[in-house]
């Protein structure tokens, strides 16, 4: 019989320091991290030494590092970027301003914003070799894979790619912010047999995206709604793709490698793609009359309903509430109220059956559909926004870098003799 013992669930911070204090079953303690005091709750297990669940430091609920980029207040359903509440940002800022905030740390004044937008406009073009690469990729390949390949290729044409300074990384971040919409739109256009579009330097970030995609600038309502969606998607703490980027650059790999790691992680359906999946669900349901029965049958089959629930928010995702306001405006402007009726029924059924609120992907999937954006572009558009958060975290990691290398607890067999090949079963 294995002796039970209290074992600490160790927490590893970005500094590679290990904090553990095996005293009581639960311990709340302050630790000094450099000159900053932080509060950590540690949990202890009475499971045997070899129990599989003793040590799970990188799954959920564990502090993996310190950041000054965003704060998620789960209890109050609040989200802030560098100290600015998300409500204030969507009410008063363009996405260009928020991108500047995330990359540089403060909201810009007018002259700083003008200079930033001028730089972004001047760097929207991508090397012709990258467009040629997109032409050669299989049209049926996912847009995420196509964009990932293009971003990896883009690095080869950047003479600063091997420089490891915060100043250089910020310059690269601005160029990636400028170039990613060009890559995303032209990847899609080429996959559809269309010729690539040329970006315009005179338009703001969001208007330029619509110009390349559709050939015209967005209406005022669509422009405002898209701007808000980009702000809501821009940053969200140590999510899977952001953490993947930080792990990559903690090895002193380059910023492009960090972004490519993030794109590959975002492709996974447990992290990205919920906005696409939720809209596909609405299309499959088809009408409000079928919505309740469809959800009940899906739940009975143990089918996952995409766009609901969030690990960080206990009382609903405030970003979803903000986005839904613009869904209502677009639905009313188009006379397409059946979409909103259907969404409301699904929300009600999910709350009654599972106690789950919609997350931001549920309304934004519908929001993009009402803008006539092709569904395969929804996750790449998420990436077009999140590039700002990814780059902010990459820069932060570089400025206080320690290799991120968590330990693992071995749970397999031990002291096994090596039998001769002829004697192995």
Give the residue numbers annotated as catalytic, written as ranges.
310, 361
From first CA to last CA, the distance across the chain in angstroms is: 29
Q: What whole-number distance in Å separates Cα of residue 312 and Cα of residue 209? A: 31
Q: In terms of DSSP bridges, do strands 84-85 and 26-33 run parallel, antiparallel, or are they unpaired?
A: unpaired
Q: What is the 3-state secondary structure (H, E, C) of the chain?
A: CCCCCCEECCEECCCCCEECCCCCCEEEEEEEECCEEEEEEEEEECCCCCCCCCCCCCCCCCCCCCCCCEEEECCCCEEEECCEEHHHHHHHCCHHHHHHHHHHCCCCCHHHHHHHHHHHHHCCCCCHHHHHHHHHCCCCCCHHHHHHHHHHHHHCCCCCCCCCCHHHHHHHHHHHHHHHHHHHHHHHHHHCCCCCCCCCCCCCHHHHHHHHHHCCCCCHHHHHHHHHHHHHHCCCCCCHHHHHHHHHHHCCCCHHHHHHHHHHHHCCCCCCCHHHHHHHHHHHHCCHHHHHHHHHHHHHCCCCCCCECCCCCCCCCHHHHHHHHHHHHHHHHHCCHHHHHHHHHHHHHHHHHHCCCECCHHHHHHHHHHCCCCHHHHHHHHHHHHHHHHHHHHHHHHHCCCCCCCCCCCCCCCCCCCCCHHHCC
For residue 63, what are its two tokens?
């502090």
């Amino acid at each position: 019989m294995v002796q039970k013992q209290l074992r600490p669930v160790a927490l590893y911070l970005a500094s590679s320091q290990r904090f553990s204090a095996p005293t009581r079953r639960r311990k709340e303690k302050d630790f000094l991290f450099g000159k900053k005091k932080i509060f950590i709750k540690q949990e202890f297990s009475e499971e045997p030494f070899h129990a599989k669940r003793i040590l799970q430091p990188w799954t959920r609920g564990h502090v993996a590092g310190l950041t000054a980029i965003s704060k998620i207040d789960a209890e109050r359903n609040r989200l802030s970027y560098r100290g600015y509440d998300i409500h204030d940002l969507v009410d008063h800022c363009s996405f260009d301003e928020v991108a500047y905030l995330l990359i540089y740390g403060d909201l810009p004044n007018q002259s700083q914003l003008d200079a930033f937008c001028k730089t972004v406009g001047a760097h929207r073009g991508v090397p012709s070799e990258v467009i040629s690469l997109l032409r050669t990729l299989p049209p049926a390949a996912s847009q995420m894979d196509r964009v990932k390949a293009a971003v990896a290729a883009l690095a080869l044409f950047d003479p600063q790619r091997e420089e490891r300074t915060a100043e250089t990384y910020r310059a690269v971040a601005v160029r990636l912010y400028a170039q990613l919409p060009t890559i995303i739109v032209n990847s899609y256009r080429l996959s559809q047999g269309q010729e690539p579009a040329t970006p315009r330097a005179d338009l703001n970030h969001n208007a330029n995206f619509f110009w390349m995609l559709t050939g015209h600038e967005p209406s005022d309502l669509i422009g405002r709604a898209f701007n808000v969606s980009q702000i809501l998607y821009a940053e969200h703490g140590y999510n899977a793709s952001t953490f993947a980027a930080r792990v990559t650059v903690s090895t002193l790999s380059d910023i492009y490698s960090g972004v490519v790691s993030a794109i590959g992680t975002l492709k996974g359906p447990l992290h990205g793609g919920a906005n696409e999946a939720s809209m596909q669900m609405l299309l499959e349901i088809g009408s409000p009359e079928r919505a309740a029965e469809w959800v009940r049958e899906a739940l009975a089959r143990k089918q996952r309903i995409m766009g609901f629930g969030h690990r960080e928010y206990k009382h609903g995702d405030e970003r979803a509430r903000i986005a839904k306001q613009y869904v209502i405006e677009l639905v009313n402007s188009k006379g397409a109220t059946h979409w909103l009726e259907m969404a409301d029924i699904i929300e009600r059924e999910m709350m009654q059956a599972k106690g789950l609120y919609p997350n931001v992907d549920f309304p934004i999937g519908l929001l993009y559909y009402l803008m006539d954006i092709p569904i395969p572009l929804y996750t790449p558009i998420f990436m077009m926004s999140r590039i700002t958060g990814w780059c902010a975290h990459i820069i932060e990691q570089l400025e206080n870098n320690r290799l991120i290398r968590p330990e693992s607890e071995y749970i397999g067999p031990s002291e096994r003799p090596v039998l001769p090949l002829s004697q192995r079963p």
